[in-house]
Amino acid sequence: MEANKEYIAACSSDVKECRIYSNFIGKVFSILFKSDRPACISYIREHGEQAFAEEMTRRKCQTIKRK
């Protein structure tokens, strides 16, 4: 879990501008699953992985959907 925090913190810039999160494969998954990947990463950064998992369980979904 500590390694995940380092990975998430590795790109301190805007998620949309970060090559770690905004790459070709990530964009493909975003299109396929209609997910808002930057919103998910931002939520994890702000609230933590456990809170994200609990929120997704509460919503009964796997990701934050694009609007």
Domain boundaries, given as residue ranges, for the chain = 2-59
Q: What is the DSSP letter of 67?
A: -
Q: What is the pLDDT of residue 34?
A: 92
Q: Which amino acid is at 46?
A: E
Per-residue pLDDT of the chain (67 residues; tens, 9 = 90+): 555 555 555 666 677 777 777 789 888 988 999 999 889 988 998 999 999 999 999 999 999 998 7
Query: How far is Cα 15 from Cα 38, in angstroms, rounded to an integer?
Result: 6
* 18 touches 63 (CB < 8 A): no
Q: What is the pLDDT of residue 6?
A: 55
Q: What is the pLDDT of residue 12?
A: 66
Q: Which residues contact 22 (CB under 8 A, 6 or more apart)?
A: 15, 16, 37, 38
Query: Position of tokens 């694009």?
Result: 66
Predicted structure pTM score: 0.71
Q: What is the DSSP letter of 55?
A: H
Q: What is the pLDDT of residue 5?
A: 57
